[in-house]
Amino acid sequence: MTTEENVQYLKQFATEIQTQLEWLSGFGADPAGGVTRLLYSDSWMQAQLALSEVMEASGLTAYFDDAGNLFGRLEGEELGEGCILTGSHIDTVRSGGKYDGAYGVAAGIAALSFLLANYGQPKRSLEVVSFAEEEGSRFPLTYWGSGNVTGRFQTAEPPLDIRDAQGISLQEAMHSAGFGAGTHRPSKRTDIQAFIELHIEQGAVLEREEQAVGIVGGIVGQRRFTFMVMGEANHAGTTPMAWRRDALAGAAEMIALIEEKASALKEPMVATVGQLEVSPNIPNVIPGTVQFTLDVRHADEIVLASFCEEIGSRLQAIADTRGLKLSGSEWMNAQPVPMHPELMEKLTNICEARGLSSRAMFSGAGHDAQIMQPVCKTAMLFVPSRHGISHSPLEYTAPESLSAGVAVLIDLLYDLAYS
């Protein structure tokens, strides 16, 4: 392409993707500008059905699997060569934005449509997926969509006792939406050779560093804990400072230490105390108990484990010094997931060839890519999020960023499926 053609080509995608994301946000739109599409809800179902029509209109063969994952397929010339998959999810958090997940689906459809129109049938089959569920917003469960594709979950045996806020079980909701074992194609796949997920960054690193594209080296491991600090509730007026066993003063020292230790380590180490409850929580009573959560993330399992261990013993030391009791429990331990070096290298070369600035980075958030990684070569690509805002009606990515991402995705898919 000439430079002029390239500019036109990118403009076309910018408009196309933006228009499609606006249109898709109509499914589950709330008056405040947010989008709520929960797994197997009416708005979710309508969005999936509408997308299947878009896929068909783009020349793809659309189909659902038993879990409700929607695929658009472009059959390859070479039989038995497996399949190159791209896509993301269309379920949202409550009152989320228009870009998280949806961008990867819309971009995938646009990319396959462009490849078909310009290069005809691929050698290897290409598919775009709109995963049924990633956010865990309706049920206390995440990655139901990609988890069924990889065999982590099975529609025939959904986890029991998983219910939404209304008491409806995952199984009931799945059946109500017309899905479940035997209703469509089996979810479990063994033919996928590569999965490429294009996603908004959900952070402000690319924006601040003015990089067009982020090439994800891995998804950080996450550990989550709940700590309970137990002191003694007492009268705020009649208990001298020296005799107090103030659970909140103790927790404050712990939170300060966590922040200090995490800040002292290099990126991508992050540690967050996001939730905290005080009891009895009355202005004139010394806090007797404080419960708080700790969320720690790093791309290196050894660094992550040693940080958590050190924090645990340092918090215990603070509690001991203050005559407080401390108990901690770990309720999440997700290992770091590295992306495929070969695909990362291809992405780096593509960006260079296109004159797009890029940087290697870790994903601090979880994505379907981490579920797909054990079964196929997996890569992730980020585009900037304005002000790093995500999971909010304020979520926004500029049109030129949307099109840059699609252009890089097209080049990689071409490399994998046509060459």
Binding residues for Zn(2+): 89, 100, 135, 199, 391
Q: Does 213 bind a copy of itself (CB under 8 A)?
A: no
Residues contributing to the annotated binding site for allantoate: 224, 284, 297
- Residue selected from 96, 218, 366, 405 as contacting a copy of itself according to rule CB under 8 A: 366
Beta carbon of residue 72, minimum distance to a copy of itself (angstroms, whole number): 29
Count of beta carbons in the 10 Å neighbourhood of residue 187: 26
Q: How far lies 66's CA from each of 85, 145, 174, 175, in Å?
A: 18, 10, 9, 10
Q: Does 80 bind a copy of itself (CB under 8 A)?
A: no
Q: Which residues 186-205 are close enough to bind a copy of itself by CB under 8 A?
A: 201-205
Q: Provide the token pair at 24.
A: 């898709």
Specify the residue, 240 or 355, whose C-beta has the smaller distance to a copy of itself.
240
Specify the residue, 73 or 199, whose C-beta has the smaller distance to a copy of itself.
199
Residues contributing to the annotated binding site: 89, 100, 135, 199, 224, 284, 297, 391
Specify the residue, 285 or 305, whose C-beta has the smaller distance to a copy of itself.
285
Q: Does 135 bind a copy of itself (CB under 8 A)?
A: no
Specify the residue, 94 or 175, whose C-beta has the smaller distance to a copy of itself.
94
Partners of 87 in beta bridges: 129
Q: Does 408 bind a copy of itself (CB under 8 A)?
A: no
- The mark string for 275-294 relative to a copy of itself (x by CB under 8 A, - otherwise) is xxxx--xxxxxxx-----x-
Q: How far lies 34's CA from each of 18, 22, 28, 112, in Å?
A: 16, 12, 8, 28
Q: Does 356 bind a copy of itself (CB under 8 A)?
A: no
Q: Does 242 bind a copy of itself (CB under 8 A)?
A: yes
Residues that bind a copy of itself in the complex, under the rule CB under 8 A: 201-205, 208, 220, 222, 224, 234-243, 246, 248-249, 251-253, 255-256, 259, 262-263, 267-278, 281-287, 293, 295, 297, 363-366, 388, 390-391
